[in-house]
Each structure stands twice: as C-alpha cells, then as structure tokens.
Amino acid sequence: MTRIATYLTAVALLVVATACTGDSTRERIRQSVERQMDRYPHSTLRDLYKNYFQDRFGPGHIIADEKAADNYLRYELENAATMEGDDYEPTGYEERFMRVNLSVIADGRVPYDKYLSAFVRSVNGIEPITIEQWREEWKVIDEVINEMNLNLPDYEADRAEIWALLERGEYVMHHSKLFEQHYDPHYRIIEREIFQREILPLIEQKR
C-alpha cells in the first residue's frame, strides 16, 4: 500500500469512528429521553432539560454552603406532603449523578448526616465546562428530542425559553408546574460513585 493510500485509509477510519461515536451519543440521549418519558409521562421540555443540566452540573448550583444545604434539606423533609417515586434514578445520558429520593432518609434507611455529606461532597464530582460548551451539548440533545416528535406541552415556548436562558449565559431551570403537580419531586443529586459506595448498600440492606 502506498503512503497516500495508507493516509487515505487512516482518514476514512477516523471519519467512520467519529460518526459512530456521534451515533452512539445520540442513541444514548434518545434512550434517556425514553426512560424519562416512560417514568414521567407528564414531563415537559423543561423537565427533560433539567435532567440533562443536572447530569452535567450536578448539585453545585444549589449548594451555597453546607449550612444552607443542611437547613433547606431539613425544611423539605419536615414539610413534604409525600415522597413518591423511585428510591433513585440516574440523571441524563451519561449518568454522572443520581437523583436520590428523600424517602430513604424519612423511612430510616439512610442516616441524615450520611445523606447530607454525600450530597455536599458530590460537588467534587463536577467536571467544569463553560456555558458555551454546555450550549453546544444542549444543541445535540435538543436536536434528538426534536426528532422524536414527543408532542410535549408548551414545547415551542419552553424551547425558546431554554435558548434565551443559554444566550444570557445561564443554565439553571426548575421543574415545570405540570411535573410538580403530578409527581411532587423531593430528591437531591449525589455523584454516582459516592452513591454506589456509600448510599446504595444502605438502601439495599434495609429493603
């Protein structure tokens, strides 16, 4: 094989590998969308977006300091009317973090201090990226969701609001009122390895 032929073959293989990687990412995004819509059929685009930004940014945006996190967690535990839903579930398509239901504290399976510590330390599991990088990542996610034709409530309005948010250099968005009305979510985000090492064994032990 000539040097030119060898070079062209290498380029072709690189193009194929890149395409396959892109296809793999899009398929994982699609599967994660299907997972959320299966569990939470009243989700809107806002709720899907929240799932993905949590997967990328973790709990950092809600931990001003450990004392504030402690106070708000105690308040939510005391005032939540219900704590329905799964004990835990992964975020996004890379599953860097887990949403862990506060019910595991309320029913005594996980000690409060251990849960709070895992939650606060999960900030260390965040891989910093810029808003520009997140905007590019969301662009791919947005394309996949749009191709799925999910007929989500207020889809176009939510889509415009998300892009306006990103253009302002922000990324945090809360659950939709529709989602909260149907599911009344109460959870915290815990980094996956911390969860698997420290929290999951306690949940499994006392089931």
Tens of each residue's pLDDT in the chain, 207 residues: 554 544 334 333 333 333 444 689 999 999 999 999 999 999 999 999 999 999 999 987 767 678 888 999 999 999 998 888 899 999 999 999 999 999 999 999 999 999 999 999 998 878 889 999 999 999 999 999 999 999 999 999 999 999 999 999 999 999 999 999 999 999 999 999 999 999 999 999 866
Distance CA(207)–CA(205), nearest Å, equals 6
**Tokens encoding 125:** 């599991």
Distance CA(2)–CA(152), nearest Å, equals 55
**Tokens encoding 151:** 């007929």
User: Could you give the C-alpha distances from 36 to 9, 100, 156, in angstroms and in order?
Assistant: 41, 15, 19
Domain boundaries, the chain: 3-205
